[in-house]
Amino acid sequence: MQTRSCQVLIVGGGPGGYPAAIRAGQLGLDTIIVDKHGLGGTCLNRGCIPSKAMIHAATKFEEMGKHADSDVLGISLAEAPKLDMGKLVGWKDGIVAKLTGGVGQLIKAAGATHIAGWAEFSNAKTCVVTMDDGEQVEITAEHVILATGSVEVELPFLPFGENVIGSTDALDLTERPEKLVVVGAGYIGLELGIAFRKLGSDVTFIEASGGILPLYDKEITRPITMWLKKHKVDVNLSCKAKGVTEADGKTVLEYDDAKGKAQTIEADKILVAVGRKACLDGWGLENMGLDLDGKFIKVDNQCRTGMRGVFAIGDVVGEPLLAHKATAQGEMVAEIIAGHRRVHDPVSIAAVCFTEPEVVGVGLTPDEAKAKGEEIITGKFPLAASGRYLSMEAGLDGGFVRVTARKDDHVILGIHAVGAHVSELSGEFALAVEMGARLDDIAGTIHVHPTLTEGFAEAALTALGHPIHISAPKK
């Protein structure tokens, strides 16, 4: 067995691990990153990027279908578009391959070393990496960064198989399911379910809670509910999946409805999207002497574990399970190891759902702010009043931008939006909350016309009581 030593050992090449490797390399640290399942992790290979590629293709397919049915915008197609799922998946895979290759080049350029294999720790600072060819190398490090990420939650009564799939398998389907049942109406289930509906699948949701996207209030989720109804997507709330049967070549989901009555529904594929959990198994956590916080690794505000010189970042340390949080933590830890003074203390982290329409939220909702004892004012600007949105065939889906601010000093506590392309506003929203901006800061910043960002400025003006492009709210 080969033996190696390094200053920094990173296990996991996802959006937390690979930025940590790049930054550590830039800082002159002798760095090794170990990853078996593809640089970029779940986000790049099996999650964020491929799902957004599929959502884009599905939206394009749906829009082309509209032009085949009418001459909207004065543009018409002689026949309806045709779908080749195999080629769609191939195009998606090409994007992933290009990006993963780029990550590898960036790691190399930074001076870090990538080893493709599975790491298993024998103690807190030593692991054995087994490569695909069976060759092994033992690595001992001064500092360890655990970035093992998360995995899909598999329900014991709905084990993954040929027709019961998770999000990873859903992104690799080379045939469109005629009937798709989605168990779970959180962001993963909704994003994929809506995409398959745009591709022509008959989609049904089975959700255990009383609403979709439970992290968002009903005002925000209402436009999504409207889209689902308009597109004849059945959403069954307060329903509990119980199991699956296979008979006569048919796959049937068994579930209890909101009244507790047993029901069944037939499906070509059943997509289980009930969340993700930290990847804690198979890499020797039990040999490292680390403390857990529930089902996650316990860390402080520098991502230090209870073991000296061992850090953990990203999904493995808990909510929010977001790629951009992992990236920020990875860069920070590399700098801490290099001697910089850093802490992970964001005011808030923006979250986006690429549903139809899109949703973005950062900071507190009005109800959350009130629950914390804040006296607030809010401003809401309907996107139907935005010239830019209307010129893009958007804005008529019930979308809006909403700002929540403290009443006495006008400090912005939260910003939420729903509508086409609002994900692209998330950076400005996050910046405003992080810098402690006040309503006047946003209203006083000249926003370019015509752009999507004007809706944010108008929402701030509305909260101040003097909007320009809608009637002033009644006091």
Beta partners for 405? 377, 412
Kindly state whether residue 80 falls inside one of the protein's structural domains.
Answer: no
Rounded-to-integer distance, Cα 131 and Cα 139, Å = 13
User: For the domain that residue 223 is a member of, what is the CATH number?
Assistant: 3.50.50.60
412 close to 437: Cβ distance less than 8 angstroms: yes
Alpha-carbon Rg for the chain in angstroms: 24
Written as six digits, the tokens of 164 are: 């019961």
Same domain for 357 and 325? no
Q: Which tokens sit at 248?
A: 């006569």
pLDDT at 1: 82
Q: For position 365, which CATH number holds?
A: 3.30.390.30
202 burial (CB, 10 Å; 0-12 / 13-18 / 19+) is middle
Please list the residues that pair with 414 across neighbouring strands. 363, 404
Catalytic-role residue among 231, 340, 449, 466: 449
195: its two tokens: 């995409």
The verdict on 375 and 427 lying in the same domain is: yes
Shared-domain flag, residues 267 and 286: no
Domain annotation covers residue 10 = yes
Tell whether 442 and 378 lie within a shared domain. yes
* CA distances in angstroms from 286 to 123, 282, 283, 291, 292, listed in the order given: 9, 9, 9, 10, 11
Q: Report the pLDDT value the prediction gives residue 246, as an integer from 0 to 100.
A: 87
475 residues of the chain, pLDDT tens digit each: 899 999 999 999 999 999 999 999 999 999 999 999 889 998 899 899 999 999 999 999 999 999 998 898 999 999 999 999 999 999 999 999 999 999 999 999 999 999 999 999 999 999 999 998 999 999 999 999 999 999 999 999 999 999 999 999 999 999 999 999 999 999 999 999 999 999 999 999 999 999 999 889 999 999 999 999 999 999 999 999 999 998 787 899 999 999 999 999 999 999 999 999 999 999 999 999 999 999 999 999 999 999 999 999 999 999 999 999 999 999 999 999 999 999 999 999 999 999 999 999 999 999 999 999 999 999 999 999 999 999 999 988 999 999 999 999 999 999 999 999 999 999 999 999 999 999 999 999 999 999 999 999 999 999 999 999 998 877 6
Cα 350 from Cα 361, distance rounded (Å): 6
Per-residue pLDDT, 69: 85
Tell me whether residue 449 is one of the annotated catalytic residues.
yes
d(CA 212, CA 225) in angstroms, rounded, equals: 8
Boundary of a domain, candidates 288, 308, 337: 337
Q: Is 345 among the domain residues? A: no
Establish if 38 belongs to a structural domain.
Answer: yes
**Amino acid in position 119:** A
Total domain count for the chain?
3
Residue 171 exposure: Cα atoms within 13 Å on the Cβ side: 26
- Tokens (6 digits) for 233: 């997507």
Residues 190 and 270 placed together within one structural domain of the fold: yes
Q: Is 279 helix (H, G, I), strand (E, B) or coil?
A: coil
Residue where one domain finishes, among candidates 274, 308, 324: 274
Instruction: Give the residue ranges of DSSP H helices in 338-420.
Output: 366-371, 387-391
| pLDDT score, position 221 | 97
- Angle of helix 17-26 relative to helix 85-109, nearest 10 degrees, comes to 30
Residue type, 106: L
Predicted pLDDT of residue 475: 64
How far is 423 from 69, CA to CA, in rounded Å? 29
> Could you tell me the residue range of the domain that residue 396 belongs to?
351-464
User: Same domain, yes or no, for 293 and 148?
Assistant: yes
For residues 209 and 256, state if they share a domain. yes
For residues 320 and 291, membership in a common domain is answered with: yes
Tell me the C-alpha distance between 110 and 251, whole Å.
50
Which two tokens mark 43? 């986000």
Secondary structure (DSSP) of 172-202 = T-SS--SEEEEE--SHHHHHHHHHHHHTT-E
- Bond before 156 cis per omega within 30 degrees: no
Among residues 162, 217, 209, the alpha carbon closest in space to that of 189 is found at 209
Beta bridge partners of 240: 256
> Do 128 and 12 lie in a common domain?
yes
Instruction: Please indicate, yes or no, whether residues 127 and 211 belong to a single structural domain of this protein.
Output: no
229 and 331 share one domain: no
Q: Which residues on neighbouring strands pair with residue 33, listed in sequence order?
A: 10, 114
Is 255 domain-assigned?
Answer: yes
pTM of the model: 0.95
Residue 187 near residue 48 (C-beta atoms within 8 A) = no
